[in-house]
Structure 1
Amino acid sequence: MRKPLIGISTYWLDSVVWNDSRESPAAFLPTHYVHMLQASGGTVLMLPPDQPTVAEHVVAQLDGLVIAGGPDVAPEHYGAVRDLRTGPPSVARDNWELALIKAAVATRAPLLGICRGMQLLNVSLGGTLVQHLDGHLTPGIFGAHPVNPIPGTLYHSLVPERSTVATYHHQAVHQLGVGLVPSALADDGTIEAIEAVGTQWVLGVQWHPEMGSDTRVLEGLVKAANRR
Structure 2
Amino acid sequence: MRIIAITQRLLAHTEYYEIRETLSTQWGELFQSGRTLNGFIPMPLSYTIGFHHYIDMLKNSLAGVILSGGNDLSCCLDSDIRNSQQGKLSIMRDDYEAELIEICMKSNIPLLGICRGAQMIAWHFGSEITKCNNHVGTHKIKYTKNISPMQKLAESNTKLKLHNTCNSFHNYCISKLSNSLLPLAICEDNSIEAFRHEKNAIYGIMWHIERKDGLENNIILQQWLNNIRDK
Pairing of 1:40-79 with structure 2 (within 5 A): 40-41=37-38, 42-50=40-48, 54-59=50-55, 61=58, 62-75=62-75
Q: Which runs of 4+ in 1 moved over 6 A?
A: 83-87
**Cα deviation 1:36-60 (Å, max 9, x = unaligned):** 1343221111102135xx3234346
Amino acid at match of 1:167: S
Contact 2:146 2:183 in 1 (8 A): no
Pairing of 1:168-179 with structure 2 (within 5 A): 168-179=169-180
Q: Which residue of 1 aligns with 2:230?
A: 227
CA distance in 1, matches of 2:26, 2:226: 20
Structure 2 unaligned segments of length 5 or more: list them: 155-159
CA distance in 2, matches of 1:28, 1:116: 14
CA distance in 2, matches of 1:31, 1:155: 29
**Cα deviation 1:163-195 (Å, max 9, x = unaligned):** 322111011113323511111011221211111
| Residue in structure 2 matching 1:149, options 140, 143, 149 | 143
Q: Which residue of 2 aligns with 1:119?
A: 119
Secondary structure, counterpart of 1:120 in structure 2 = helix
CA distance in 2, matches of 1:176, 1:106: 22
More RCO (CA 8 Å, sep 6+): 1
Contact 2:175 2:190 in 1 (8 A): no
Secondary structure, counterpart of 2:48 in structure 1 = coil
Secondary structure, counterpart of 1:209 in structure 2 = coil
| Residue in structure 2 matching 1:24, options 8, 18, 35 | 18
CA distance in 1, matches of 2:43, 2:63: 11
Q: Which residue of 2 aligns with 1:133?
A: 132
Count, aligned residues: 209
* Greater fraction helix: 2
**Cα deviation 1:114-138 (Å, max 9, x = unaligned):** 00000000111122211x11344xx
